[in-house]
């Protein structure tokens, strides 16, 4: 088990240090630069483009924060790089561009987004890009299959699983009850072998992350910490926070 002190050394800004009212939009170069300037680590998300590029974006479709309505998986990287975030000069970044921007100045914690359909293209491209990156970086996903694939493709990349106790949001309706239990209780760990866990702060304490942390020595990150009450719970049960809308 590698030493992961660098992963828990500083609070992690969720999707960068964003504040829409101040013109700092999530998952943009501006938000990432703000996090670096304030001494925070960065959490971000990746989606796959039509031509297999890893793109920095949370949603699987345009429209919430950007111009357009198309699915990212239906557009090329070149087309996505031209997409403007509303009321800003920021554009969607590739993972390579994000790595160039951060340049090892802080820790990157990257979440691979997934439709739980077995598609490994995002894992493969992420591993290719990070093979040439020298900064501190960890990769995680809600989808155990993505992390199992990462373990096979690039076992040297620090990997983690994101989980929560109750998968009751409509986005999880595609999963069976068995799949949800497997994720909530980290029953996939013999196959994924995560180096760390990222668990929902509202669900702490919970048996699975407690066991991972206290019996198996896996660092526990917790998300998304939005106020002092969340921080108090996180301080008791986890090793570091992923935060937004409030600064520790």
Say if 6 falls within a structural domain.
no
- Tell if the pTM clears 0.85, that is, is over it: yes
pLDDT of the residue at 141: 98
CA-nearest of 120, 136, 143, 134 to 54 is 120
Express each pLDDT in 120-147 by its tens digit.
999 999 999 999 999 999 999 999 999 9
Closest to 241 (Cα-Cα) out of 184, 183, 202:
202
pLDDT at 3: 87
User: Which residue from 93, 66, 89, 65 is spatially nearest to 77, judged by alpha carbons?
Assistant: 93
pLDDT at site 56: 98
210: its two tokens? 């407690």
Average pLDDT of the residues of the chain: 97
- The domain in which residue 163 lies consists of 12-243
Q: How confident is the model at residue 38 (pLDDT cuts 50, 70, 90)?
A: very high
- Is there a domain that residue 193 lies in? yes
**Assigned domain for 1 exists:** no
Strand partners, 221: 198, 240
Per residue in 161-171, pLDDT (tens digit) is: 999 999 998 99
Q: How many domains does the chain have?
A: 1
Q: How buried is residue 232: exposed, middle or buried, by Cβ count under 10 Å (0-12/13-18/19+)? A: exposed
Q: Is residue 166 part of a domain?
A: yes
Q: What is the CATH number of the domain that holds 59?
A: 3.20.20.190
Q: Report the distance separating Cα 26 and Cα 36, nearest Å.
A: 14
Confidence (pLDDT) at 74: 98
| Cα gap 136→165, rounded to integer Å | 29
| 222 domain residue, yes or no | yes
- Which residues lie closer than 8 Å to 148 by C-beta, 6 or more apart? 188, 191, 192
Whether 180 maps to a domain, the answer reads: yes
Strands of 61-129 (E only): list them: 93-94, 108-112
pLDDT tens sequence across 149-201: 999 999 999 999 999 999 998 999 999 999 999 999 999 999 999 999 999 99
User: HSE (CB half, 13 Å, CA atoms) of 61?
Assistant: 6
On whether residue 29 sits in a domain, the answer given is yes
Query: Which band of pLDDT confidence, cut at 50, 70 and 90, is reported for residue 2?
Result: confident
Query: Is 161 among the domain residues?
Result: yes
Residue 157: predicted pLDDT: 98
> 163 forms bridges with which residues in the sheet?
199
Question: Hunting for tokens 């479709």 — which residue is that?
Answer: 61
């Amino acid at each position: 088990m590698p030493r992961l002190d660098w992963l828990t050394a500083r609070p992690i800004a969720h999707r960068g240090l964003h504040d829409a009212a101040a013109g700092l939009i999530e998952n943009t170069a501006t938000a990432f630069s703000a996090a670096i300037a304030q001494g925070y680590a960065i959490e971000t998300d990746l989606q796959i483009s039509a031509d297999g590029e890893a793109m920095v974006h949370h949603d699987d479709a345009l429209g919430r924060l950007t111009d357009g309505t198309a699915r990212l998986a239906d557009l090329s990287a070149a087309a996505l790089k031209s997409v403007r975030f509303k009321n800003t000069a920021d554009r969607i970044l590739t993972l390579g561009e994000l790595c160039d921007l951060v340049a090892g100045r802080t820790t990157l914690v990257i979440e691979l987004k997934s439709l739980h359909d077995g598609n490994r293209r995002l894992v493969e491209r992420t591993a290719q890009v990070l093979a040439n990156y020298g900064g501190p970086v960890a990769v995680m996903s809600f989808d155990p299959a993505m992390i199992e694939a990462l373990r096979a493709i690039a076992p040297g990349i620090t990997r983690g699983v994101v989980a929560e106790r109750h998968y009751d949001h409509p986005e999880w309706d595609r999963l069976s009850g068995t799949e949800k239990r497997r994720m909530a209780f980290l029953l996939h760990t013999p196959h994924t072998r995560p180096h760390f866990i990222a668990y929902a702060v509202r669900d702490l304490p919970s048996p699975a992350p407690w066991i991972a942390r206290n019996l198996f020595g896996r660092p526990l990150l917790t998300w998304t910490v939005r106020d002092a009450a969340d921080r108090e719970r996180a301080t008791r049960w986890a090793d570091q926070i992923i935060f937004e809308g409030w600064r520790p």
